[in-house]
Amino acid sequence: MASGTEIPAETVAGRKGALSTVISIDAMGGDRGPAAVVAGLVLSAAELPDARFILHGDQAVLSPLLARAPTLAGRVDLRHAERVVTMEDKPSQVMRHGQGTSMFSTIDAVKNGEAPVAVSCGNTGALMAVAMLRLRKLPGVNRPAIACYWPSRNPSGLNVMLDVGADIKAEAADLLQFAAMGTSYARNSLGLARPRVGLLNVGTEEHKGRAELHQAYAQMSAAASAGEFDFVGFVEGSDIPSDRVDVIVTDGFTGNVALKTGEGTAKLISGFLREALGSTLLARLGALLAMGALKRLQARADPRRANGGVFLGLNGTVIKSHGSADATGIAAAVRLAHQLARADLANRIAARVASTGLAGQDAAATGAEAGTAE
């Protein structure tokens, strides 16, 4: 396993030339349609000169869009898929009858080794189901997890939280694996040599929380050295955007509720701020004088720059872009995909899960022996 934050000069799989990084992209699943996806690729092509794209979707719709984007000429391999997975489709139905959809085709490009990473704006549940079906879990991984960025006071401006919705429950061993996967993700996406990991709980005191959290606490403490992370112990909801921690570990139910609560609160405050700044002539004048500071605040809090939930623990990397992402949001997801592909994230996670898991198992066995002796 490589240490530090060093990223290989080229991808291991899916290469078309000495320094190309291939990204498989579902063009059809987003709320804004394939035009937003193609516009995002135009932005990505300018920023990432070594990137090439496999674009999956209806050829009759995509060909005219690509024809109007000359900067993408020679960099896009168009794969026709006439069917689309909608937001209303149930994951179980997509697993059984999803062949021929752009989502299936996008994931299969990773399965077949044509690209190391896939991006889709489509149905989250269906995407996870298809990714699990086609890519399978990495050796030793019990449950995959979805990791997301969270705005924070850390120097990078971001924290990592997982799981935020892949599975609603998690045992102690699963939480330990989430810590290992989140550590690898933080190292390779945020450049953190030794991320600080916290376990989300209802309080920071060691006696609080459910039994599996206490077990996970002991295992993470024991595995921190082997996993190359610093375990800060229990953290609370108020710590999620703080500079106390880099990786927040929790089960998918709690993580998804926290994520949706954060998104809703951000929209509420944004709406309140707009109303307040436009309420009177004096307020509008003050807003005009503070325009520079407001623009900096908007840029810092812009959710599009952190667009992309990453499915961790699979034989390949899958990024779920927000369904309503515009060209800027799509480009952010593609940028993240490019970075993780060059870091060979899946293989790094496999190695980290293996080393961290052994240390955690030793801690669990010691704890069980102590319980028996009592």
pLDDT in tens, 82-122: 899 988 889 888 888 888 999 999 999 999 999 999 999 98
Q: What's the confidence (pLDDT) of residue 151?
A: 87
pLDDT in tens, 160-210: 999 998 888 899 999 999 999 999 999 988 999 999 999 999 988 888 889
Q: Is the peptide bond before 163 cis (omega within 30 degrees of 0)?
A: yes
Q: What's the confidence (pLDDT) of residue 7?
A: 35
- Does residue 319 surpass a pLDDT of 80? yes
Higher-scoring residue by pLDDT: 103, 354: 103
Q: Domains of the chain, with CATH numbers?
A: 1-137+313-343 (3.40.718.10), 142-305+344-374 (3.40.718.10)
Mean pLDDT over 301-324 rounds to 81
Q: What's the confidence (pLDDT) of residue 186?
A: 93
- Does residue 307 surpass a pLDDT of 70? no
Mean pLDDT over 299-303 rounds to 61
3-7, 40-44, 155-159: least confidently modelled range: 3-7
Mean pLDDT over 342-354 rounds to 86
310, 332 contact by CB (below 8 A): no
Under the banding of pLDDT at 50, 70 and 90, the label for residue 8 is very low
pTM score of the predicted model: 0.82
Torsion of CA 307, 312, 315, 320, to 10 degrees: -30
Q: What's the confidence (pLDDT) of residue 297?
A: 67
Under the banding of pLDDT at 50, 70 and 90, the label for residue 76 is very high
Q: What's the confidence (pLDDT) of residue 358?
A: 64
- Report the alpha-carbon distance of residue 151 to residue 133 in Å, rounded: 32
Residue 366, Cα to own-chain centre: how many angstroms? 34
- Does residue 28 surpass a pLDDT of 90? yes
Q: What's the confidence (pLDDT) of residue 2?
A: 37
198, 239 contact by CB (below 8 A): yes
- Angle at CA 262, nearest 5°, toward 256 and 266? 150
- Does residue 269 surpass a pLDDT of 90? no
Distances (CA, A) of 343 to 3, 9, 73, 104: 11, 9, 26, 24
Under the banding of pLDDT at 50, 70 and 90, the label for residue 351 is confident
Q: What's the confidence (pLDDT) of residue 178?
A: 95
Mean pLDDT over 339-347 rounds to 89
pLDDT in tens, 221-254: 999 988 899 999 999 999 999 999 999 999 999 9
Q: What's the confidence (pLDDT) of residue 253?
A: 93
- Report the alpha-carbon distance of residue 222 to residue 356 in Å, rounded: 9
Q: What's the confidence (pLDDT) of residue 265?
A: 83
Q: What's the confidence (pLDDT) of residue 22?
A: 95
Distances (CA, A) of 24 to 188, 217, 301: 20, 38, 28
What mean pLDDT value characterizes the chain? Answer: 85
